[in-house]
Structure 1
């Protein structure tokens, strides 16, 4: 066994251990702090285990913690985030898959220019477009609304998702599409009956990227969602920023964990399909 421990292998193991510790130590601190009382946090080390499992911070973070003048916890923000995420991801995946297929397998006028514009949209910082979008949405009457925040997430998410679907569909056998045309299938028939059922892995890849981006967003939700539709990330920032006196670190940590759990559980549930989608060409250029 010792003979196989070459310097290169030892370096790899050391790097992996350090990387794991880099992520696991903060996670351990967050979990243990959320299960402690305020007195335990103030009187002990952050690395000490809780004396007893106390979930009162979790229940308070969810349902009774005050965010400004509202003392309903982060649960309203959680359901707002779910609503925004489902609508944004669903619309983005459908539009991106349809356009990706058109750019990959069908002759579209000026498809090279369209692809270049998509690349520009994928890497252009969206902060430079916030003010024009606010003005346009205000004129259209959808600023500070559910429709506005969903639309802005779709607009900013489409470029990279279209590129992912295009790169996947361009690897499909051309004979498959030609055979569908010979049998009389049109664009939409080919897409819905043949191509879409073959796209499970790439859809999961795109869905994970979209869900993660929408769920973790703070700036777009703060600007475009409006007070009635504020997402969970904004609620979390409000919870931390409005505490008076001694900060309730256990409540803050519990709220942070609740916010982080949905995308983490999504990846754990569909991780193997994500790897399949990547290796099948979903993110190859």
Structure 2
């Protein structure tokens, strides 16, 4: 028995080491592009031409980062990524907040205040989550044309709010159906009305789902390229469009270190959001997974 237990323990340790080795190999493989981007962004052009792609920089230089931020050419403009970074912030923050709040309100109605045809409405909304960006480009352009919205930031805010509502509504509706109905009934008996129940009772307990929507919408909106290139123009373009223009600029010497630095600058906000709120994202997704 002792020998059998010893072999079982040894086998478990070997299996654990194999799992760890595989996981470490996958992590290294996954992080390799990020390592190449970082190391290249800190190298000079001469070192990039003569060195190894995976080699560390002989001396760290921030010249490429300064150029990417303030002087790199994105087409005919050479003002760097800074103004486009600001454009994306101006677009993303209101779009994320509006779509999250309206999605919470929709989920509240669809779960707690059912009306005739609410299930059909929710089904149609659910179908909307599977529609690709390309399907809604033409009708969205027609609507924006009828509304005569000229400002690029306003157009993009409206587009992202509308497209994101089906996702935020789905998240909140699935969470609210897990909330005991007795809680809402007790609030009604105590005299709480429609809006008071929402703002004073349900919204404060929705932090996990709020975090999911904030992270989801931030990632989707910040990383979007298609809507940005179609519904914005000139100085109102988001950072993803500017990055594409920078990388594809054909005038002058190709500066790979500046391209890599610009790509990292464009990715930083979403990396920070996931690093800070990643655990809340998982908790929020599973919060409404039991029922509904």
**Does the alignment reach a TM-score above 0.5?**
yes
Structure 1 contact 202–282 (Cα < 8 Å) conserved: no
Quick check: 1:223 aligned with 2:230? yes
SS in 2 for 1:279: helix
Residues 122-137 of structure 1 mapped to structure 2, 5 A cutoff? 122-137=129-144
Quick check: 1:149 aligned with 2:156? yes
Structure 2 contact 42–57 (Cα < 8 Å) conserved: yes
Structure 2 contact 152–237 (Cα < 8 Å) conserved: no
TM-score by length of 1: 0.94
Q: Give 1:78's match in structure 2, choosing from 77, 85, 95.
A: 85
In structure 2, the CA distance between the partners of 1:278 and 1:284, relative to structure 1 (3 Å rule), is farther
Structure 1 contact 58–251 (Cα < 8 Å) conserved: yes
Quick check: 1:209 aligned with 2:216? yes
Moved over 4 A (4+): 282-285
| Counterpart residue number, 1:109 | 116
Aligned partners of 1:106, 1:196: CA distance in 2, in Å? 15
Deviates more, 1:112-121 or 1:129-138: 129-138
Aligned partners of 2:40, 2:290: CA distance in 1, in Å? 38
Structure 1 contact 144–224 (Cα < 8 Å) conserved: no
Q: Please state how far the C-alpha of 1:154 moved relative to its aligned partner.
A: 0.8
TM-score by length of 2: 0.92
Please tell me whether Structure 1 or Structure 2 has the larger radius of gyration of its CA atoms: 2
Structure 2 contact 152–236 (Cα < 8 Å) conserved: yes
SS in 1 for 2:129: helix
Q: Please state how far the C-alpha of 1:3 moved relative to its aligned partner.
A: 2.9
- After superposition, what is the alpha-carbon deviation per residue over 1:145-189, rounded to whole angstroms, capped at 9, x for unaligned? 222111111111111110000001110111100011101111111
Question: Which sections of structure 2, spanning at least 5 residues, go unmatched?
Answer: 1-8
- After superposition, what is the alpha-carbon deviation per residue over 1:210-234, rounded to whole angstroms, capped at 9, x for unaligned? 0000000001011112323200000
Structure 1 contact 33–249 (Cα < 8 Å) conserved: yes
| Counterpart residue number, 2:239 | 232
Q: Please state how far the C-alpha of 1:144 moved relative to its aligned partner.
A: 5.8
Q: Please state how far the C-alpha of 1:243 moved relative to its aligned partner.
A: 3.7
- After superposition, what is the alpha-carbon deviation per residue over 1:24-83, rounded to whole angstroms, capped at 9, x for unaligned? 111110000000000000001111110111001000000011112211101111000001
Aligned length: 284
SS in 1 for 2:76: coil
How large is the Cα RMSD of the aligned pairs? 1.8
